[in-house]
Copies of this chain bind each other. A is one copy, B any other.
């Protein structure tokens, strides 16, 4: 049995590395601001004044409108009172975990970011895995599953649940009296994931909860919002759980989101995509020189998995060697929360970094891999 440290702990270690190692761990956007984003950040002092002048609900509503429009979610319940602004998507997930009935059984996509499974387990819920293969085959779990959690796009694989599959899941869930929970934290990065999921879920008559995130889109140094939306049918004590966790998000951050969402539809999306794809290309080309390749060549999100052939070192060994050489990446075992061994041949890297950082780090990875692999 592989000993599993959670992914965030490794991300914290990378963040506090006093030797200044290269950090390709977390999926947060760690980029220099674009000129357009810099102009917005320059307006923050004025947002403080605005936060005193304008009523909070008005500021929050404007942010919800701008953000959901920017990511194609035209049927999101903006203005209904069923969208809660949290400090982060993690906090939104924990609020959902707390609001679910004690002892409920939850099917969770596998693999996916371990924090989702951890937060649910810590609140005493029973978990069963739903593999990506089962999702693609529309093999949805029945009783005793009370809720089904899908990450869309999935992290780390980038898999986007197709619209027809989501419809099938929603209809299944209605028949089996299950709640559909969508973690769409990476959605803003990928147009293909921006079909109107709220319309699909509502058309099926589903009881749904959705989590959206601004933290993966913009390099705002943790000034972000996790949004928790839920359907009219949802009958869980979500507002009560919210009130235990916070009073309100920051009206300054909400204004920042409004403006960044405006930039996102005005070329910001394309500017961010270009950088990520340039980084993905250098990763692909550099690794090809030592016979390594991307595990998910079609993935469009800002993280990528690298597959390690059985003949060479596994991810635990390569991860350790890269740490020695001053590069932080994530071994994938913890993403496989129900079966860590099955993630041993994968490494996850973040592409939301300056080009030079990714280039240098991946060069180090290629060298480390070569040194660890017996010549045939």
Please report which residues of chain A, range 96-142, place their CB below 8 angstroms from some CB of chain B when the two chains form the complex: 98, 115, 118-119, 122, 124
Instruction: List the B side residues contacting A88 at CB < 8 Å.
Output: 87, 246
Given known A-B contacts A57-B18, A221-B251, A222-B253, A245 and B94 have beta carbons under 8 A apart: yes
A7–chain B nearest beta-carbon distance, Å: 9
Annotate A220-256 by CB proximity to B: 1 below 8 A, 0 otherwise: 1111000000000000000110011111111111000
Instruction: List the B side residues contacting A190 at CB < 8 Å.
Output: none
The complex places the Cα of A247 from the Cα of B221 at a distance, in Å, of 11
Given known A-B contacts A48-B221, A221-B250, A245-B90, A56 and B9 have beta carbons under 8 A apart: no
A104–chain B nearest beta-carbon distance, Å: 16
**A33 closest partner in B (C-beta):** B48
Instruction: List the B side residues contacting A12 at CB < 8 Å.
Output: 243, 247-248
CB-based contact B16/A57 at 8 Å: yes
Given known A-B contacts A15-B56, A252-B223, A253-B222, A90 and B246 have beta carbons under 8 A apart: yes
**A241 closest partner in B (C-beta):** B122
CB-based contact B240/A6 at 8 Å: yes
CB-based contact A11/B247 at 8 Å: yes
The complex places the Cα of A346 from the Cα of B188 at a distance, in Å, of 48
Tell yes or no: A75 within 8 A of B by CB.
Answer: no
The total of chain A residues at the interface (CB under 8 A) is: 52
Tell yes or no: A374 within 8 A of B by CB.
Answer: no
Instruction: List the B side residues contacting A250 at CB < 8 Å.
Output: 221-223
Given known A-B contacts A45-B41, A55-B18, A91-B91, A119 and B244 have beta carbons under 8 A apart: yes
CB-based contact B252/A221 at 8 Å: yes
Tell yes or no: A44 within 8 A of B by CB.
Answer: yes
Annotate A42-56 by CB proximity to B: 1 below 8 A, 0 otherwise: 101100100110011
CB-based contact A45/B42 at 8 Å: yes
CB-based contact B41/A48 at 8 Å: yes
The complex places the Cα of A87 from the Cα of B232 at a distance, in Å, of 30
Tell yes or no: A289 within 8 A of B by CB.
Answer: no
Tell yes or no: A281 within 8 A of B by CB.
Answer: no
Tell yes or no: A290 within 8 A of B by CB.
Answer: no
Please report which residues of chain A, range 26-71, place their CB below 8 angstroms from some CB of chain B when the two chains form the complex: 26, 28, 32-33, 38, 41-42, 44-45, 48, 51-52, 55-57
Instruction: List the B side residues contacting A28 at CB < 8 Å.
Output: 247
CB-based contact B244/A222 at 8 Å: no
A43–chain B nearest beta-carbon distance, Å: 8
**A248 closest partner in B (C-beta):** B15
Instruction: List the B side residues contacting A164 at CB < 8 Å.
Output: none
* 7 closest Cβ pairs, A-B complex: A222-B250, A8-B243, A87-B87, A9-B243, A221-B252, A51-B221, A16-B57
- Interface of A with B (CB < 8 Å)? 6, 8-9, 11-12, 15-16, 18, 20, 26, 28, 32-33, 38, 41-42, 44-45, 48, 51-52, 55-57, 87-88, 90-91, 94, 98, 115, 118-119, 122, 124, 220-223, 239-240, 243-253
Given A6-B243, A26-B247, A28-B247, output 18 extra A-B contacts at Cβ < 8 Å: A9-B239, A9-B243, A12-B247, A15-B57, A15-B247, A16-B56, A16-B57, A20-B55, A32-B52, A41-B45, A41-B48, A51-B221, A87-B91, A90-B245, A91-B91, A124-B124, A222-B251, A222-B252
| Residue contacts A-B, CB under 8 angstroms, 19 given | A15-B56, A15-B57, A15-B247, A26-B247, A33-B48, A41-B44, A48-B221, A51-B221, A88-B246, A90-B244, A98-B122, A115-B244, A118-B244, A122-B244, A124-B124, A221-B251, A222-B251, A222-B253, A223-B223
